[in-house]
């Protein structure tokens, strides 16, 4: 089987596995939670996106991956992670919290979509071996990130942004 085919199978099955896990274990709990608490949980996951900077760490990915892909992916993840951390820090200031929750989700989903476009343009599936140690990111981590962005938008649309609840 070609590396391109393996990469595409891995990516598809990454989404399938996370959707199964998410639908069975995570989504029912998030839906039962207060929207602020649910969005805090999602922001906590996304606060680890600083890890995307690994795409520009020399020696981690192959030297033949185009900067068009690696640089945007790295800094898009970094920006999303910082915005998610700020959302967590501002949870007691609800208007700021909601602003940063919206911001990290808009930046994060845009980053992932643009990364998919860049990956297609540079034929990343055929170059999957160049991802080196970062191969697991698009296969295991990105599907979860995209799914949680969709759920975050669902939660944002489902609950009024002005809802004020005490922090517990």
In a domain, 11, yes or no: yes
Count the domains in the chain.
1
pLDDT bin (cut points 50, 70, 90) of residue 100 is: very high
Answer yes or no: is pLDDT of 163 > 90.
no
User: What is the domain extent for residue 54?
Assistant: 3-158
Q: Is residue 93 part of a domain?
A: yes
- What's the confidence (pLDDT) of residue 160? 66
How big is the chain, counted in residues? 168
> Does pLDDT of 162 surpass 50?
no
The pLDDT value recorded for residue 106 is 98
Give the mean model confidence (pLDDT) for residues 58-69.
90
Token couple for 142: 């990105």
Q: Mean pLDDT lowest for which of 65-74, 81-90, 152-161?
A: 152-161
Partner residues linked to 58 by β-bridges: 61
pLDDT number for residue 165: 55
- Give just the sign of the alpha carbon dihedral 19, 22, 24, 30: negative
**Is residue 105 situated within a structural domain?**
yes
CA distance 43 to 37: 10
Check residue 68 and give its pLDDT.
Answer: 84
Residue 166 forms part of a structural domain:
no
Q: Answer whether 0.75 is exceeded by the pTM.
A: yes
Examine residue 168 and state whether it is found in any structural domain, yes or no: no
**Could you report how far apart the first and last alpha carbons of the chain are, in Å?**
52
Q: Judge whether residue 167 has pLDDT over 80.
A: no
Average pLDDT in the 28-55 region? 97
Q: Answer yes or no: is 51 within a domain.
A: yes
The residue to which tokens 């697991």 are assigned: 136
């Amino acid at each position: 089987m070609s590396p391109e085919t393996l990469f595409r199978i891995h990516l598809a099955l990454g989404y399938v596995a996370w959707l199964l896990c998410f639908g069975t274990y995570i989504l029912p709990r998030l839906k039962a939670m207060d929207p602020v608490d649910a969005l805090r949980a999602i922001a906590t996951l996304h606060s680890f996106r600083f890890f995307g900077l690994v795409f520009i760490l020399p020696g981690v990915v192959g030297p033949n991956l185009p900067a068009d892909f690696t640089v945007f992916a790295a800094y898009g993840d970094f920006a999303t992670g910082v915005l998610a951390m700020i959302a967590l820090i501002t949870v007691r200031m609800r208007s700021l919290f909601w602003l940063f929750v919206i911001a990290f989700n808009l930046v994060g989903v845009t980053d992932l979509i643009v990364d998919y476009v860049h990956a297609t343009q540079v034929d990343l599936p055929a170059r999957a071996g160049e991802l080196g140690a970062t191969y697991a990111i698009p296969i295991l981590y990105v599907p979860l990130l995209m799914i949680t962005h969709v759920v975050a938008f669902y939660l944002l649309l489902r609950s009024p942004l002005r809802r004020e609840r005490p922090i517990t």
